Amino acid sequence: MSQDVIGILSDSHGDLAAFEAAYELLRAKGAQRFIFLGGRYSDLDEWILDRRERSRGGREYSGADFIEDVAKWLAVTEQKPRPRSLSVPDDALKELEEDPLLVREHFLRTPERDSIQYRDPSIPRKVLDMVGDTLCCLTYDKNDLSRDDLVNALIFIHGKESEPKLVQIGPRFFLTPGRLAGAAEQTCALLERVDKDLRFSAFRLDGKAVVEPQTLAVDRRTKLSVK
């Protein structure tokens, strides 16, 4: 049984309908956390706003809605601090279904080079996180990876590719979900932890698998440099 199921999306480039379809597909497949690698950093925010508007039945956002949102946000930050890893308890799934405002709390994301967020020093261009006991590095463009990144992490999750891929180079793995816009097929991916194994798969938005589940033979005996 999967212990962690992580949905991976990239390169939406303003196609919020594709973003929505990928999110719903990955959630239906059990995703509890999500990685958005960019391809238009602000698409996550615009998609959240769109979901929020639809949850209100399309009516105009009011002052009462704002007060309600602030109250919910304060309750979340006081009672449920933002998770620091990609694994979350199962009851978080109910939050995803009930309130679009809380969905953002279950996403990690990275900016692309031509976005204003990429130049914002308060926004990391790369994100390090753990999946089980394996260190992962998230970035939009794998060309942004530094030597230290390559030395320290074992799994690299990136965007800016036309199709989903799993590539092994030595003891390290490079994963990409493909694109939600601007490719022959719109795709997204899953990274699952089953016991101590990690498994990668990818899908078209109609649910058809384009990369069947592949197990990552991660060598955790590899000595990593920690600075």
Instruction: Give the domain 2-216 fold.
Output: Purple Acid Phosphatase; chain A, domain 2 (3.60.21)
What was the pLDDT predicted at 83? 44
pLDDT given at position 223: 44
pLDDT computed for residue 219 by the predictor: 73
Q: Are 115 and 40 in contact (CB under 8 A)?
A: yes
CA–CA gap between residue 136 and residue 146 (Å, rounded): 14
**One-letter identity of residue 2:** S
Distance CA 48, CA 34 (A): 14
Q: Which pLDDT score is estimated for 73? A: 55
Number of neighbouring beta carbons within 10 Å of residue 48: 16
Q: Is 142 left (phi over 0), alpha (psi -120 to 50) or beta?
A: alpha
Query: pLDDT digit of tens for each residue in the chain (227 aa)?
Result: 456 899 999 999 999 999 999 999 999 999 999 999 999 999 999 999 888 887 766 555 555 655 666 565 566 555 544 444 444 455 554 544 556 667 888 999 999 999 999 999 999 999 999 988 899 999 999 999 999 999 999 999 999 999 999 999 999 999 999 999 999 999 999 999 988 889 999 999 999 999 999 999 887 655 443 33
Q: What is the pLDDT of residue 78?
A: 57
> Which amino acid is residue 37, in one-letter code?
L
Cα 34 → chain centroid: 3
Contact 99, 76 (CB under 8 A): no
pTM over 0.85: no
